[in-house]
Amino acid sequence: MMFLAFALALVVTATTAAFFKWRIPVWTGAMAGVLLLFTLSGQPGPLTLFLSWLALAVVAVPLNHIPWRREFLTHPILQAFEKMMPQISETERVALDAGTVGFEGELFSGNPNWDRFTRQPLGELTVEEQAFLDGPVEALCDMIDEWETTHFRANLSEEIWAHLKKHGFFGMIIPKAYGGLGFSAVAHRAVLQKVSGMSSTLGSVIAVPNSLGPAELLMHYGREDQKDHYLPRLADGREVPCFGLTSTTAGSDATSIADYGVVCRGQWQGKETLGIRLTFEKRYITLAPVATVVGLAFRLYDPEALLGDTEDIGITLALIPADTPGVDIGRRHFPLNNPFPNGPIRGNDVFIPMDYLLGGEEHVGQGWRMLVECLSVGRAISLPSSATGGAKTAAMVTGAYARIRKQFNLPIGRFEGIEEALARIAGYTYAISALSRQTATVVDAGEKPSVPGAIAKYQATEMSREIIKDAMDIHGGKGIILGPKNYLGRAWQGAPIWITVEGANILTRSMMIFGQGAIRCHPYVLKEMQALEIPNDEERLKTFDQLLFAHIGHSISNAARSFVLGLSFGGFVAVPGDRKTKAYYRKLSRYSAAFAFMADITMLTYGGKLKQKEKISGRLADILGQLYICAAMMRRFEHDNRPAADQPILAWAFHDAIYKIQHAMRGVIDNYPLRWARPFLRFVVFPLGRIERAPNDRLGHKVAQLMLSPSETRSRLTRGIYRSDRTNQAVGVLEALLPDVIASEPIERKMLKALRLGDISGYTFDEQLDDARQKGVLTEQEADLMADVRQRSLDVVSVDDFDLATLQAGLTRMGDAIREGKSQEAA
């Protein structure tokens, strides 16, 4: 019995030291103190005590005697570390150096400060920004006719183009000093959210000039004369920009692009000039067909040493007027029936002067770094904001439709199968909205969130794909029949586009999120890598020793925290919140510690091979992404002053995310290469087993019901989207009809009861309604309401039909263009 007490005392002391990250001397003293107490008591026996003292001495003496530790422990580990370090490509090195680390770094620490995080206010719109949304943006949404745009025009109307230019939509990120709007990232998000909820075509046109493009690059790296010339013209729409990065042979590995330029002398405007002769073939370039100025990425070579001693200078950027001789631009791709301007750019033997280089000669060879630093900001806003708008619109129209559409004399939203999809739509919409606002807020705080931006792009577009799938399922035939009355079909067609652009989601998940985060956001890994580059051997060993044992302590601490918090349901951490939300924060602290521990274990096990273990990296990316989403949702909930009515949606979204975290952690452990270690990992990460469950049916029912009627919760969930019925847009029509449908339901039940009892009769609804009116079953007011709701509901659920000539009219120009292109190729 005494031996068990002795063993338990040692384990508790060691675990406590690890949990609270005691320094090595403090841990040594604590363990020695426990041994001393038992030694003085004479229990549990001299042999056990002697062996325990010996074990402590063997471990503690080398750890506390720094010279011995460095010679016999750190030095061999340093040599092994140098060998196992992965070979980092130029692309990866630049990506690692770009961006900043924010709250995601605390998730890697395993001990996030939730109170500090949630107390930071979320970004809000200024009076000027709100006025822009209520004025020019609202007016722009009034003009949208997505069927005309996508089926007949394959382009925006001249009226919309003029409106965009007149009101500065292309210059939202350009400072006012250059004629731009100078809006915040939160305002940028709000504009894209509102417009993209109505038209992904129009949303794309607005997003690109305000994301990765000439304006962003000019503001950071442009010469003053370039800024003075281009930024005012970009702001007022005199210049329409595009940026050519992706080439035919290089997409994700952009540093391998085959497009090249050679420094040489040539004729420019009648004079011999030092310049660059370019050959390039770009594709998938948004706005290229309508662009007047082209940003171009290419590899620059200087074989004649006209700029210096280096021949292969590297990725370089230039700004080229679209009418430059030799530039072939204007043709269009047709991405899944979404006609936003997108197409190829080609050039062969195109000569440009050195003045066209973005930032001038001093920025040659720095193009990839310039792109990555700007891309982290654009990726954090454009697609997450657009996905938010699409999700909110789908949530609003689908909730209303599920109440208006009836089967078996019941709103389809009352059926459990529909409830399940509605709950998923609401939960994912809440998560996407919180995530996109979080990333926009950190951009406004001055961060360049490379890892959160990748998380937001991947998670927002994946969840929005699930949302539109569920919305289509609920709408049934209404969703698949294209025409002016269809408000979902184009969004469904376009979902794979947003999955693909700005870094395909498979790549983003399996390589970028954890691949960058594990090095950049980890408290020690990047510092350890940098320590290897210290030229002085003694200083390198000293620095690496300090980092190594801090890292080891970090890993042991997170293992202890994962185990203890798993056993205690997070009971040993101080967290903010009320009775319900405290449990959420504790759960997040527990899984943050488990994630940090698993990240260290996988990096230690795989070393440089982790780059190729994309399935493992993808699962760890899922864990990090869901933790970040949960953090964003909690911050939103706190910012909204913890509205009790929103609790069911938050609970659904939170438990869904936690369940996914558990599933991903199980996948990492089940596929861990050392089979004998798997039970230990399960014991540390899941000491009580896998106890998380997906949101249950009762919770899903509560969430679904919130979608079926107007409420503050439903309004908060969908705030910021266009909902006017002035122009007969679907969102406004459905929202205007919904209260009347709800008001008519008791009347309808009274009428159906009378019909069952034989008090009224008739073959059609109109005959039954007239009979009910005449016999006094319904008052005149009730009958009028029923007639009105019936007609408006039929209008909502109706679909389009066409004669063949009308359908062919929308396709004729496309066919003519294809035939013309083939003729040109043959010629």
Query: Which residues form the catalytic set?
Result: 502
Phi, psi of 267 (to 5 degrees): -85, 130
Per DSSP bridges, beta strands 312-321 and 293-301 are antiparallel
The residue ranges of DSSP E strands in 535-677, in sequence order, are: none
User: 3-class SS at 655?
Assistant: helix
Judged by phi (left if over 0) then psi (alpha if -120 to 50, else beta), residue 570 lies in left
Confirm if 55 and 38 have CB atoms less than 8 A apart.
no
Q: How far is CA 576 from CA 67, 117, 501, 645, in A?
A: 44, 10, 38, 20
Hey, which bits of 245-288 come out as E strands?
260-268, 271-286
Counting every residue written for the chain, the total comes to 827
> CB 101: neighbour CB atoms within 10 A?
20
Q: How far apart are the first and last CA of the chain?
A: 95
User: Angle 214-183-390 (CA atoms, 0-180°, nearest 5)?
Assistant: 85
Q: How far is CA 826 from CA 326, 329, 650, 816, in A?
A: 20, 19, 59, 15
* C-alpha to C-alpha distance for 557 and 541, rounded to whole angstroms: 24
Of 295, 90, 106, the residue nearest 209 (C-alpha): 295
**Helices 367-404 and 416-444: angle between axes, nearest 10 degrees:** 150
Bridge partners (DSSP) of residue 352 are: 276
Q: Would you say 777 and 761 are in contact if contact means Cβ atoms under 8 Å apart? A: no
What the block records as the tokens of 804 is 């063949």
Residue 5 has φ and ψ, to the nearest 5°, of -65, -40
